[in-house]
Chain A
């Protein structure tokens, strides 16, 4: 009994040895060369992307330098006097818009994501249709949402007029698919064993979602919301259609009454003026927006790292 076994073991060891020796030799020259070329291309892609971003920031900062002052934040718009022109109503308008967007997308986005992940039966054709449409909607150009907002919120069924609420609704529709997709990812990342553990204790499905699944997916959901808000903050095209004006002097717009302005629209308007001082003002506005966006994104990353759960 032991002898044939030992012989077999010896043969197996010898075979494994031969295979390892055969595979550990030098790679062919061509493979090394191709590998290095591929690595170089990857690095090039990273460098180009970084250069683009840095060039944008540096150029805006240099061009906007003469216009940097507190006036940016305290003065209203003007097309005659660049010395006293600023972004005050536009900044306030953008904050109002974003507040409205957040109020709309958090409950709607999380609600839709919870339904699709926890309740919907993925085998039913209507649920698959909903999923497919949400993914497609995330790729629809923003100007189309502007037209939709004009037809449904400004005029048509809601007839709100050119007010902040209409702008918020339009932007919320624009970024809602992004939020739903991000929230679904976050909910799906919670292991099924957590749901099983909760249900096995006699918790209802809603208690399980409310007390286990949602708290565990908050970092992912918040990250998605912040990315969506960043996008909404920078959109000019749909806002032009739903009435963001450039000459609003009132400080606090009523969301359902009166004109409003927004940062990207105001920047766009200043950039169109002939005088160089206004162009500098537009560049300064770009820097302000970039700073806000980078701050939001940093916050999202910090939040994700801070609360991320290792399963």
Chain B
């Protein structure tokens, strides 16, 4: 049993050893460059708070999926949401750009402030919200069009100018230009899964959002494609704030500045279950010295 934990810790730390806290996972050795970036962006969090959740509860048809979440998300950082299946992390991330509106039975209570303005206020148009807060989904979902048209779609419907330039810049931004510059007119479905996901990221940044939400962006990808997306995320955070949901704790440890840990809570009769935020802190702290024992159990692989 201990072998297993040590093994996971080893993987998380990229094989590096350091000031490991006994069964805990040490992330200090992960990717030197990433470390530097993270330190750098810690000071950048002076850029302020981009989202502020206050007692946010989301219900599907009256049953809460996630309850009483309060947290602040800093601008210019990568914030990871982790936790076991069914803990509401996908529900939570879909609150940030009002994608939950698309599910008729979903109700959002509490408030979700974006630069101090409640996204769920009566005067807020969800379309305007999504123009500023883009999203990348679990399964790559390119449109059944050419690579170029996939990226041009957003700028076109938003009435932006310089479509050609935007397409090229977005593809450069998603580190895809060199791979596809000679086949921009080919159907996007001719690309590999990893390329498709980077195309979706390019599509997202082509409309200049301020925030990119990523809902398990690598869960359908192989490790090499996953690595490319993670590298890309480290570059993107120079210009965008990123919130990522991930099943993969190592991924959270590798890329994120802050990590929120959610669990599935059961009521006394074990009939209702909902997601609850347990701990939210700097990623180093969550993975090396978590305040809550449940966080420690999860990140060390004892549960979940």
Number of interface residues of A (CB under 8 A): 22
Number of interface residues of B (CB under 8 A): 26
A207 with B104: CB separation less than 8 A: no
A204 with B127: CB separation less than 8 A: yes
Given A196-B102, A197-B137: A202 in contact with B158 (beta carbons within 8 A): yes
Judge if A45 is at the interface, Cβ distance under 8 Å: no
Query: Which residue of chain A is the closest to B156 with respect to CB atoms?
Result: A211
B200 with A196: CB separation less than 8 A: no
Grouping DSSP codes into helix (H, G, I), strand (E, B) and loop, the A interface class, with mixed when no group exceeds half, is helix
A-contact bits for B94-114, CB 8 A (1 contact / 0 none): 000101001010000000000
Judge if B66 is at the interface, Cβ distance under 8 Å: no
Given A123-B104, A310-B189: A201 in contact with B130 (beta carbons within 8 A): yes
Given A197-B200, A216-B144: A202 in contact with B207 (beta carbons within 8 A): yes
B-contact bits for A290-311, CB 8 A (1 contact / 0 none): 0000000000000000000111
Q: Distance in Å from the Cβ of B101 to the closest Cβ of chain A?
A: 9
Judge if A56 is at the interface, Cβ distance under 8 Å: no
- The distance in angstroms between the C-alpha atoms of A196 and B102, with both chains bound, is 9
Judge if B177 is at the interface, Cβ distance under 8 Å: no
Judge if A269 is at the interface, Cβ distance under 8 Å: no
Given A191-B141, A198-B143: A211 in contact with B153 (beta carbons within 8 A): yes
Question: Of A197, A202, A203, which contacts B141 at CB under 8 A?
Answer: A197
Given A212-B143, A216-B144: A198 in contact with B153 (beta carbons within 8 A): yes
A201 with B207: CB separation less than 8 A: yes
A200 with B157: CB separation less than 8 A: no
Which residues from A are CB-within-8-Å of B200? 197
A residues 187-201 with Cβ under 8 Å of B?
191, 193-201
- The distance in angstroms between the C-alpha atoms of A196 and B98, with both chains bound, is 11
Judge if A121 is at the interface, Cβ distance under 8 Å: yes
A202 with B157: CB separation less than 8 A: yes
Q: Distance in Å from the Cβ of A215 to the closest Cβ of chain B?
A: 8
Judge if B139 is at the interface, Cβ distance under 8 Å: yes
A residues 203-217 with Cβ under 8 Å of B?
203-204, 207, 211-212, 216
Question: Of A191, A195, A201, which contacts B154 at CB under 8 A?
Answer: A201
Q: Chain A: residues with CB nearer than 8 A to chain B?
A: 121, 123, 191, 193-204, 207, 211-212, 216, 309-311
